[in-house]
Amino acid sequence: MGIAFGNPYFLWLFPVLAAAAVWIARRSLSGLAGARRKVALGIRLVVILILTLLLADPRAERPDESVAVAFCVDYSRSVPEAELRRAAKFISEASGARHPGDRLEVVAFGGEAAIEQPFAAEFSGLAPSLHTWVDPEKTAIGAALRLAASSFAEGAGRRVVLITDGNENRGDVVAAVEKARAAGVAVDLFPIRYKHEEEVLVEKVTCPDHVTVGRKFELRCIIHSTVETTAEIDVLANNEATGGERLSAALPKGAARLTVLRAITGAEGGAARAEATVDGLPLAEGTRLAAGRHVVAIDETLELPGPAEARYRVLAGAAGAEAAVGAPAPIPLAGGRHARSLYVRLECGGAATLAVEHRGRGETGRAPAWETAAGGESETTLVLNGEGETKATLFVPRERMRVKLRPGKNAIALPQPVTTAGLHSFQVRIAPERDTVTGNNRAFAYTYASGDRPTVLLLDDDPASARLLLAAMASRPGRPETPFTIEHRPSADCPQTMLGLASYDAIVLSNVPAAAFSDEQKEMLHDAVHEFGVGLIMVGGGDAFGAGGYQGSAVEAALPVNMDVTNRKVTPKGALVLVLHTMEIPGTTEWGKRVAKEAIGVLGANDVIGVLYYDARGGGERWLINLQPARDKDELSRTVDDMVNGDAPDFGRFVRLAHEGLTADPRAKDAVRKHVIVISDGDPARPSPKELNDLASAGITLSTVLISGHGQPEMDTMRGMAEATGGRFYNVLDAKSLPRIFIKESAVVRRGMFMEETQRPRVADVSQMLQGIGQNDLPPLTGYVTTSQKRNAAVRPQYPLLSSIKDAEEDPILAQWEYGVGRAVAFTSDLGRRWATPWVQWGKYDRFWRQVIEWTLKKVSRADFESQVAVGGSDAEGKIVVFGEDEEGRTLDGLTIKGKVYPPSGRPAEVLLRQTALGRYEGEFDAGQEGAYYFAADAGGGRLITTGFTRSASAEYSARESDERLFAAVLRASGGREIREPARAFDRDLTRVDTRQPLWRALFWAALGLFFLDIAFRRLDIEYRALLAPVGFVVARLRRSRRKRAVATKTAAAVGGGVPAHGAAISPAGPEQPGPPAAPEGEPPAVAAGPPGAAGEGAGAEAGPGDGPAASGAEYMQGLFAARDRARRKRGLRKRK
């Protein structure tokens, strides 16, 4: 082991300090005796030496030892799968070629790096799928290298092997290589080389920013190809296949005809043939059809010499009086053979006969098959004679376009129809015959279509209620034209994307509860109003506003009223009792607790809550939470969490306790609505009819939630309980349905929010919506949901337009406000099914709703802002640049433009556009995902900027081959090499330096120890001889016993008798023996002459045989004198100090 010094210059300090120490020692150590002085000085010098060494930073250098290798593997999409497998095999082989002690690590990387397998001696191969996750859409080789370099432990040789194709698009690997090299990490390369010979990719798709509904436009698609091949092209609009078109016609009773006129244009020559079948069977002459549904298929076979277009026209109606039904968009066809089918669905009101006729260029045929030349017109006619009316629907499927690709750039035009207004995204997909990488075969584009008529979406789950509004808005002679179209959908069909919502001009929520929407949808509804200017109208009913559970939601924020009625002096309160019993199946208790906690969460602070359960701690049926206002919800939730539920034998007692509480407890008995929810597995015995009747007659409803019931009897028990009291029964099979249940059920309690009294609303303010409608025109309402007007100085208007006075409170009936870029309206009664029935027959009903809806329609104009969006090179950052000019051509400056970017999936992000030049504003956003993004910002004054950006497949897919130049650059910067043999990965030709902590520590403790030793040596009087006494003592005793034996033999021989044992203690064995054991000077044992051993020896009365006084006398006296002298000397010395 060699030692190197980090700061060798400190070593020069030693002679200097040593000399100084010697000079100082002359004075400070003068008190010591010679030998001791030398030793003291020596110790000091050693301490100084050690301290100097420490300052010089000693390090041990080890020759060749173990090696730690980190393999960085590129998991980005540009690396083909087969190459990854080869890399895994390489690593396994390298691992097998290791020396003992070598360690191995695998770092996976893509857009970022993660340690897939940390340093370990064992390596069992790369798992087929990663344990960690890295973003495969980017390649950041530098990040991987940095991570690997920082993960090495001290003490081993360090090498990083980069396994990549070199297609870096994030960060700079060469800089990272240089840093690693400086830190002593060797960087080598195992390159992944490939070249896609045959590759077709879609570079981009473009289309105009704005189009008009009803007019066709073109998508232009640029395709790169390295080879000559053909490809099929598919276009998805708004993520739906543009599969085909439907046309409907009504065929009257009696003789009727439906004709499909076919014109193949653009190709001369070729052949066409058509056959018709009905319900799969060939159509013979006069096939008899029964009433009901039948499908006629018209199968066409076309052989075309070149590209062409198929145009169809459809005529239908009574024989001799056919009218045009429509014309599907022309279908582009490539040259070659095509088999196509058109379908006609006939819904016959009565029995009918069906025949088919084909007519071609001048030829007529009645035979099932027919041939003619292409390039002309032909027709196929269905001849129907029915006893009832028939509805016919024609379905024309779209042809998948086929194109020929040449090597290089190909530009393809794809015509597209647009039928609805709003933002549309298009995805173009190609399927080439010859291709290597398929991930780059698609691209996106978007456009904004403006229609001539605004569209309103009506969400209402009651078709009868929806019909009331639809009928009022339908065109009728004598009624002015409704300036918008209205589309009705059930709430479950509400659009799930921002794109879908923003394409409407207004949305009407008619009696839809909050539970019908996910949290994301609620936020999108809010944003649709605030950012996109879509109008929002909430119409009441038993499930809307507060009773619908909207409190605290994003939708509430967008409406002009608050769900919680806080301004009332007398707040109607509800009382809810929860009975929690879920036992046997693990997990069900947790569901039950969740329902309970969520139900508590939705109650108002004035509502009363009580919770019953069966105490597992022996007490049977008890109140877990006594009836009390639902104020401290956290505390209540905690109590529910802590509940330990037992096995309840019977429901009856719970029902009785709930009834007693809700009717007798002063806190609950004055509640307007009383409700009980039983959550159970259905096992306990059912309550008696009387117990349930008591509930019903007290106006208490009971709902049951069955969780994991065993079977039919439990369901019957729970259902029966709910039915007896007019409550609801839920059979819960999965946890996802729980939230809807509790919102719905708790809303029952909040039904205290209804006001059900007949009253004529009062006109409280003037408005556009009420133009031509005066106080005397308004019919009475029989009920509404109570809400409170938002009072905010910034909000206009401050008062509802229509209101109702109750308990001296003004309850809004109709309220409006502007919110963000849009407008929102609340109408707390309903469309006429329950509470507004007198309004349905009212002559001005349609006028009222028309004006209300019209007022909320999107009023935003598109601002005159030109916008551009781009994606920054290697990082997926999007940049949006907007130029603004006013009508006179002057730039618009000083604006604050705040907007939101809606990515293809996930939450929208806010973007702030800063002014960077005259009329120019810029902002950034994260464009990591593939797909269509759109951006909406309010430029002030009701002007909305919308633009979009489509990010096609990640940069990874455009890589067609590995990057040799990057390989060369990396090797140059690192001085490393390309590893071809797996065994070379663990080569030992590495120089390393490492610090050895133990050296430092050992030296430090040694110095400290010596330092104290130095002090001790100088300050303490230790009789070193005394320290050595035990050794001497043993030696002396050995000697003495031998001598005594000799003496005794002699004496015994001389005396011939017993010898007194006494005297042994007093006879010192030799000159080494310490002083008298009596120790009259009283010295403490540490300093004193003799170890107790000596005294002990005396006390022990070691009677050696023949230990006679004669042998010890003179020696004894001598010893005494010697001891006295020594003691004197010591005292003298001590005095001097």
Partner 1 sequence: MAAVAVAGALLAAFAGAAWSASGWPSPGGEASSSSPAEGVEWLFEFGTRGSTPGKFAAPRGIAVGPGDVIAVVDRSGRVQRFQADGTFLNEWALPKSDTGTPTGLGFDHDGTILVADTHNSRMLRYSPEGRELARWGRYGAGEADCFVYLTDACVLPRGAGSPLGEGGIYVSEYGREGHDRVLGFASDGRLLTAFGEFGELPGHFRRPMGICAVAGPGGTLLCVADSTNDRVQGFDAAGRFVREFGGRGSGPGRMVTPMDVAAGPDGTLYVVEYGNHRVQRFTAEGRPLGAAGSFGTGAEQFNYPWGVAVNSRGVVYVADTKNHRVVALRFR
**Interface residue list for partner 1 (CB under 8 A):** 584, 615-620, 622, 646-647, 649-650, 652-653, 685-686, 688, 710-713, 716-717
- Kind of pairing, strands 729-732 and 700-707? parallel
Residue 1105 structure tokens? 């045989």
Report how far residue 77's alpha carbon sits from residue 167's, in angstroms, rounded to the nearest whole number: 10
Spell out the alpha helix ranges (H) of 603-643. 633-642
Give 1117's contacts (C-beta < 8 A, 6+ positions apart). none
Q: What is the DSSP letter of 250?
A: E
Q: From the CB of 686, what's the least distance to partner 1, in Å? A: 8
In terms of CB distance, is 650 or 924 closer to partner 1?
Answer: 650
Q: From the CB of 718, what's the least distance to partner 1, in Å? A: 12
Which burial class, exposed, middle or buried, applies to 50 when counting CB atoms under 10 A from its CB (0-12, 13-18, 19+)? buried
Q: From the CB of 649, what's the least distance to partner 1, in Å? A: 5
- Closest of 199, 661, 244 to residue 430, by C-alpha: 199
In terms of CB distance, is 278 or 583 closer to partner 1?
Answer: 583
Are the beta carbons of 827 and 778 closer than 8 angstroms? no
932: part of which helix (H) or strand (E)? strand 931-938
In terms of CB distance, is 685 or 993 closer to partner 1?
Answer: 685
In terms of CB distance, is 614 or 855 closer to partner 1?
Answer: 614
Are the beta carbons of 394 and 382 closer than 8 angstroms? no
Give 1053's contacts (C-beta < 8 A, 6+ positions apart). none
Report how far residue 134's alpha carbon sits from residue 112's, in angstroms, rounded to the nearest whole number: 6
String of b and e for 947-969 (b: at least 16 CB within 10 Å)? bbbbbbbbbbbbbbebbeebbeb
Report how far residue 40's alpha carbon sits from residue 25's, in angstroms, rounded to the nearest whole number: 9
Q: From the CB of 726, what's the least distance to partner 1, in Å? A: 19
Report how far residue 452's alpha carbon sits from residue 214's, in angstroms, rounded to the nearest whole number: 9
Which burial class, exposed, middle or buried, applies to 100 when counting CB atoms under 10 A from its CB (0-12, 13-18, 19+)? exposed
Q: From the CB of 719, what's the least distance to partner 1, in Å? A: 12
Are the beta carbons of 576 and 609 closer than 8 angstroms? yes
- Closest of 573, 564, 604, 603 to residue 790, by C-alpha: 564
Q: From the CB of 944, what's the least distance to partner 1, in Å? A: 58
Report how far residue 602's alpha carbon sits from residue 608's, in angstroms, rounded to the nearest whole number: 12
Q: From the CB of 683, what's the least distance to partner 1, in Å? A: 8
Q: From the CB of 651, what's the least distance to partner 1, in Å? A: 9
Residue 980 structure tokens? 């071809």
1055: part of which helix (H) or strand (E)? helix 1029-1055
In terms of CB distance, is 724 or 764 closer to partner 1?
Answer: 724
How many CA atoms lie within 13 Å of 269's alpha carbon, on the beta-carbon side?
5
Q: From the CB of 713, what's the least distance to partner 1, in Å? A: 5
Q: From the CB of 667, what's the least distance to partner 1, in Å? A: 21
In terms of CB distance, is 685 or 983 closer to partner 1?
Answer: 685
How many CA atoms lie within 13 Å of 824's alpha carbon, on the beta-carbon side?
27
Q: How far is CA 408 from the centre of its chain?
A: 41
Q: From the CB of 458, what's the least distance to partner 1, in Å? A: 45
Report the number of secondary-structure helices (H) and strands (E) in the chain: 23, 57
The residues that bridge with 561 in the sheet, in sequence order, are: 789
In terms of CB distance, is 15 or 713 closer to partner 1?
Answer: 713
SS3 610: strand
Instruction: Calculate the alpha carbon distances from 308 to 376, 380, 398, 1115 in Å.
Output: 11, 20, 14, 141
Q: From the CB of 623, what's the least distance to partner 1, in Å? A: 11
Report how far residue 446's alpha carbon sits from residue 1056's, in angstroms, rounded to the nearest whole number: 134
Q: 888-894: long-range contacts at Cβ-Cβ below 8 A with a sequence spacing of 24 or more?
A: 891/918, 891/919, 892/919, 892/939, 893/918, 893/919
In terms of CB distance, is 713 or 726 closer to partner 1?
Answer: 713
Q: From the CB of 655, what's the least distance to partner 1, in Å? A: 12
Q: From the CB of 595, what's the least distance to partner 1, in Å? A: 23
In terms of CB distance, is 712 or 991 closer to partner 1?
Answer: 712
In terms of CB distance, is 652 or 1093 closer to partner 1?
Answer: 652
In terms of CB distance, is 711 or 843 closer to partner 1?
Answer: 711
Q: From the CB of 610, what's the least distance to partner 1, in Å? A: 17
In terms of CB distance, is 218 or 615 closer to partner 1?
Answer: 615
In terms of CB distance, is 373 or 715 closer to partner 1?
Answer: 715
Q: From the CB of 645, what's the least distance to partner 1, in Å? A: 12
Instruction: Calculate the alpha carbon distances from 385 to 238, 270, 289, 711 in Å.
Output: 41, 35, 10, 54
Give 16's contacts (C-beta < 8 A, 6+ positions apart). none
Q: From the CB of 232, what's the least distance to partner 1, in Å? A: 51
In terms of CB distance, is 434 or 719 closer to partner 1?
Answer: 719
In terms of CB distance, is 467 or 656 closer to partner 1?
Answer: 656
In terms of CB distance, is 681 or 956 closer to partner 1?
Answer: 681
In terms of CB distance, is 316 or 692 closer to partner 1?
Answer: 692
In terms of CB distance, is 243 or 649 closer to partner 1?
Answer: 649
Report how far residue 965's alpha carbon sits from residue 189's, in angstroms, rounded to the nearest whole number: 13
Report how far residue 460's alpha carbon sits from residue 490's, in angstroms, rounded to the nearest whole number: 5
Q: From the CB of 665, what's the least distance to partner 1, in Å? A: 18
Report how far residue 221's alpha carbon sits from residue 216's, in angstroms, rounded to the nearest whole number: 16
